Amino acid sequence: MLQERSGKSVDTFSVDPYSFSQEGRIVTVRQIPLASFEGPHGEAAQCVALDALAGDRPRRLPASLSIVLENVARQALGGADVAEPLGKILDWTPGAAELTVPLRVSRVILPDSSGLPVLMDLAAARDAVAEAGGDPAVIEPMVPVTLVVDHSLIVDVAGRPDAEARNIEKEYQRNRERYAFFKWAQRAFQRLRVVPPGAGIIHQVHLEKLARVVEEQDVPGVGRITGPEFVLGCDSHTPMVNGLGLLAWGVGGIDGEAAVLGQDYVVRIPRVIGVRLTGRLPAGATTTDLVLTVTERLRKVGVVGAFVEFFGLGVATLTVPERATLANMAPEYGATIGFFPIDAMTIDYLTRSGREPDHVRRVEAYARASGLFVEEHDQAIEFTETVTIDLGQIAPSVAGPKRPQDRVPLTGVKSAFRDVLAKPVDAGGFGLAPERLDDTVTIDGLEAPLRHGTITIAAITSCTNTSNPSVMIGAGLLARNAVARGLQVPDWVKTSLAPGSRLVRDYLTEAGLMTPLEALGFHIVGYGCTTCSGKSGPIRADIAEAVLGNDLVAAAVLSGNRNFEGRIHKTCRASYLASPPLVVAFALAGRVDVDFETEPLGTGKDGAPVYLRDIWPDGEELARLVATSQQPGRFRDSYATLFDGAALWHELETASGPRFAWDPASTYIRRPPFFDGPHEALPDRIEGARVLVRAGDSLTTDHITPSGEILADTPAGRFLIAAGVEPDNFNAVTQRRGNHDFMARITFANQRMKNLLAPGREGGMTRTAPDAEPVTIFEAAESWRRQNVPLIVLAGTDYGMGSSRDWAAKGPKLLGVRAVVAESFERIHRANLIGMGILPLTFADGESASSLGLSGFETYDFDGLRAAVETDRPVTVTARTAGGETRFSARVDVASSHERALLQNGGLFASLMAGLESRRIASDQGGHDDT
């Protein structure tokens, strides 16, 4: 025993001694300290004693990095060769180089949007094994996997009492093939559980029910060890559960597949940015206003790929649902995680949310014994950089019209919108001529003409905010007060309410707040992502025609996390993120360019003007209702039937057996081609490549592979029509991710996609030469393919900003893209490119396509690729035109030996097939191979 403190004993467990070189000195670590603590029933339990393991550091490791340390230490206890990463984490300092660390994954969680491609790839892998003479059952998840069907609900019907029933009926009609596939997969894979449609949004369900925070693991030779969960999710907003002190983040479907199949998850541990929160949110400010401010601030600081950890006295003033809002939007501010350590508020939430009392006691006992429990939030912690945000200075805000980081104070929305109308398109505006700023269109029956700034969609949606009872009850109170004053929502606004869980319905109903929300048209349309992921559904045909036909800049206001252009709805060129109470307020105003200080929301039934301040919720009443909304019994009741599904789910017929019966005529579910050979290893040279897309900064995954509406007059729309699908049954892009032929045609085809090779055009167009006529990107790719010409993408900063969707890499792969040369990449998309064998190359510091004078019409040669991947040597790139050539260097943006191997083999699918083949050979020879 080393020491006795705080009621816990610390023992050491010896592992094989190891040493590593760090800054010219040899560091040796010989022991892993274990702490003993008392379990919920008085039984003895043990865990890694993190404070003892970290030693006498003058400043503590960040809690997020401590969990990484624990994960690696548990691997060491089990005999894994993790000497170097363990030692480097122990020796971490703010100036340390990025660490490459193997992490053991506890669970994988999937939404249906990215889960469908993952499970389809596993089914295709089973086919490949069987066709090679093996047992298809060898393809089986090695860790527990939960899939939540939440991305398929479209708001076809809104503003009426039967909206929920009609929408879910339509959802099943459209998605019958997909859902039947999920039911087959749940039977075929032993470690897969499916949450059927209608239960809620994956991240909110994870927070409120599925997350356990700690787990127990049997370690041979050591015994049962308690430690933190580490969860991967194939959705970028997986970090939402970081608000619970759970380490989890989003990865692309390709990384997710590897983790599911037991492949090592090797991650580059980046900078750890500390965000010190001070003060307390003032009256009238919400957590939504705070997260929009954090997003704006951290995008300016530059935290792409970093760990962000919140600390400071202000943290203790935030509830877990409020913390979850800040953690949820980590991808919007560019971070891998937005982490809050375990404290008393965490334990209180686990209790209130109906977790088993024994498990809650275990979480607290473990956190205290291991050194992860935080008593004082303003500790001396070692961060790479610290940013301070005073909660007392947070003001009501929105973000838009095109990006989450473009925060606008509520008092400045009117003038900011007017400015952005006239601002040039390449500067983020809409480029309207001065004479067009006051355009109006009159429609018979509407009480006022439509104009720039008219709101066509107002949606309370997304797990980001519907998981937070303070803003949801606030929206209900504001609606109640508005109805009492006689206010109504104008006819041109489509209103909807899509909670992230049924819990929200329950506490709003009990508080008597659903009735006033419904009086304003905010009927529940179902439980899913809806508007936040582009599933807004149709608006009135005459309004849509007037907006599109007259090129009006109409707006959407939503309580979501993303408002990238072209995402929400084709009529909404401007989209703004706002808190749920402000969504209701904007809906009442009917326009986004409103000054809430000086302009009324409308006229009350007494004939007097009603201002926002007149109906804003009372703080004391709000606090009282929030406190009563979070009861263990309510959580248990709401989640009692989580995995059961409705009658429509049980009525679905599906096949059984280890292999799926593909229907080649299906427009939804087709056998993926990615396991089909031959698979090509990385060449040393790519010769004669042409540019398919030249993009500016911040090209998002929404631009690369959209998620919302499918337009008929596009390659993807024409493909469906040719297959006999009527436009009314197109569904959304997300739901078509099981058909690779469709997905190839939708790649780079966002309706607001801007390709610098075809200036002045939107919607996925390009040119193959300076004097050529514009054609669709798909048509150009097909033309180059027939000529055996490899393709590349040239881009600016933050390429691949946005979601974890693997199709943003799979689609370009199908089009023939071999490399992307950008100034910088977003973390998840870079990993997805590598998983598909597409080279992510970065320009040298200070260089760009523009500074090098590249037009995108050159012919490109890439030399020294193998050495560049193996040794970090630069790649030599030669861009040729008839008038000469430009030569420059680029670096392969690779994080680990695992990623190097993927690129060398040609991507994940080639690597998996090589592993399966080695297993087959070993089996044929009577040997054994653990590849």
Q: What is the pLDDT of residue 55?
A: 81
Q: What is the pLDDT of residue 728?
A: 84
Are residues 318 and 449 both part of a single domain? no
Are residues 450 and 382 both part of a single domain? no
Does a structural domain hold residue 801?
Answer: yes
Q: Does the pLDDT at position 1 exceed 50?
A: no
Question: Where is the domain boundary, 721, 746, 771?
Answer: 746
SS3 247: strand
Pair type for strands 839-843 and 884-892:
antiparallel
Q: What is the pLDDT of residue 15?
A: 47
SS3 432: coil
Q: Determine the structural domain holding residue 607 and report its residue range.
A: 408-630
Q: What is the pLDDT of residue 317?
A: 97
Q: What is the pLDDT of residue 11?
A: 59
Question: Where is the domain boundary, 339, 365, 393?
Answer: 393
Q: What is the pLDDT of residue 638?
A: 93
By mean pLDDT, which of 127-131, 426-430, 498-502 is the weakest? 426-430
Confidence class of residue 918 from pLDDT cuts 50, 70 and 90? Answer: low
Q: Residue 840 sits in a domain of what CATH number? A: 3.20.19.10
Pair type for strands 223-228 and 397-399:
unpaired
170: closest CA among 144, 184, 152? 152
Q: What is the pLDDT of residue 912?
A: 77
Are residues 698 and 721 both part of a single domain? no
Are residues 215 and 232 both part of a single domain? yes
Question: Where is the domain boundary, 366, 393, 420?
Answer: 393
Confidence class of residue 74 from pLDDT cuts 50, 70 and 90? Answer: very high
Are residues 739 and 839 both part of a single domain? no
Does a structural domain hold residue 90?
Answer: no
Q: Does the pLDDT at position 861 exceed 80?
A: yes
Confidence class of residue 96 from pLDDT cuts 50, 70 and 90? Answer: confident
Six-digit token string for 874: 């630069």
DSSP secondary structure code for residue 166 in this structure: H
Q: Does the pLDDT at position 926 exceed 80?
A: no
Helical residues (DSSP H) of 723-776, grouped into ranges: 740-746
Burial of 434 (0-12, 13-18, 19+ CB in 10 A): exposed
Q: What is the pLDDT of residue 4?
A: 36
Does a structural domain hold residue 27?
Answer: no
Confidence class of residue 930 from pLDDT cuts 50, 70 and 90? Answer: very low
Are residues 358 and 460 both part of a single domain? no
Does a structural domain hold residue 663?
Answer: no
pLDDT tens, residue by residue, 151-186: 989 999 999 999 999 999 999 999 999 999 999 999
Q: Does the pLDDT at position 25 exceed 80?
A: no
Q: What is the pLDDT of residue 204?
A: 97
Q: Does the pLDDT at position 910 exceed 50?
A: yes
Confidence class of residue 892 from pLDDT cuts 50, 70 and 90? Answer: very high
Q: What is the pLDDT of residue 924?
A: 54
Residue 70 to residues 305, 397, 770, Cα–Cα distance (Å): 21, 39, 56
Residue type, 62: P
pLDDT tens, residue by residue, 708-729: 788 888 999 999 999 999 998 8
Query: What does the alpha-carbon distance between residue 282 and residue 638 come to, in Å, rounded to a whole number?
Result: 32
Q: What is the mean pLDDT of residues 765-774?
A: 94
Are residues 337 and 275 both part of a single domain? yes
Q: What is the pLDDT of residue 30?
A: 52
Q: Does the pLDDT at position 582 exceed 80?
A: yes
Cβ contacts of 111 within 8 Å, gap of 6 or more: 147, 148, 149, 150, 151, 202, 234, 235, 529
* Residue % of the chain over a pLDDT of 70: 95
Does a structural domain hold residue 809?
Answer: yes
Number of domains composing the chain: 4
Q: What is the pLDDT of residue 826?
A: 87
Q: What is the mean pLDDT of residues 626-635?
A: 94
Q: What is the pLDDT of residue 919?
A: 53
Are residues 416 and 463 both part of a single domain? yes
Does a structural domain hold residue 698?
Answer: yes
Q: What is the pLDDT of residue 588?
A: 98
Backbone CA torsion sign across 74, 79, 81, 87: positive
Does a structural domain hold residue 7?
Answer: no
**In this predicted model, which residue has the larger pLDDT, 557 or 706?**
557
Are residues 558 and 693 both part of a single domain? no
Q: What is the CA 255 to chain-centroid distance, rounded?
A: 14
Q: What is the pLDDT of residue 928?
A: 39
**In this predicted model, which residue has the larger pLDDT, 251 or 488?**
488
Q: What is the pLDDT of residue 916?
A: 64
pLDDT tens, residue by residue, 512-548: 999 999 999 999 999 999 888 888 999 999 999 999 9
Residue type, 469: P
Q: Does the pLDDT at position 26 exceed 80?
A: no
Long-range contacts of 740-745 (CB under 8 A, 24+ apart): 740/670, 740/672, 740/673, 740/810, 740/814, 741/670, 742/667, 742/716, 743/705, 743/807, 743/810, 743/811, 743/814, 744/778, 744/781, 744/811, 744/814, 744/815, 745/714, 745/715, 745/716, 745/719, 745/778
User: 3-state secondary structure string, 819-870?
Assistant: EEEECCECHHHHHHHHHCCCEEEEECCCCCCCCCCCCCCCEEEEECHHHHHH
Q: Does the pLDDT at position 559 exceed 70?
A: yes
Are residues 244 and 367 both part of a single domain? yes
Q: Residue 247 sits in a domain of what CATH number? A: 3.30.499.10
Q: What is the pLDDT of residue 670?
A: 93
Q: What is the mean pLDDT of residues 26-47?
A: 81
Mean of the per-residue pLDDT values of the chain: 91
**In this predicted model, which residue has the larger pLDDT, 620 or 920?**
620
Are residues 692 and 723 both part of a single domain? no
Does a structural domain hold residue 50?
Answer: no
Q: Does the pLDDT at position 913 exceed 80?
A: no
* Residue % of the chain over a pLDDT of 90: 74
By mean pLDDT, which of 209-213, 889-893, 896-900 is the weakest? 896-900
Are residues 121 and 234 both part of a single domain? yes
Query: What does the alpha-carbon distance between residue 112 and residue 649 come to, in Å, rounded to a whole number?
Result: 15
Q: What is the mean pLDDT of residues 634-658?
A: 93
Q: Does the pLDDT at position 14 exceed 80?
A: no
Pair type for strands 839-843 and 817-822:
parallel
579: closest CA among 399, 729, 791? 399
Query: How open is the CA angle 613-530-173, to the nearest 5 degrees?
Result: 145
DSSP secondary structure code for residue 367 in this structure: H
Q: What is the mean pLDDT of residues 61-86?
A: 93
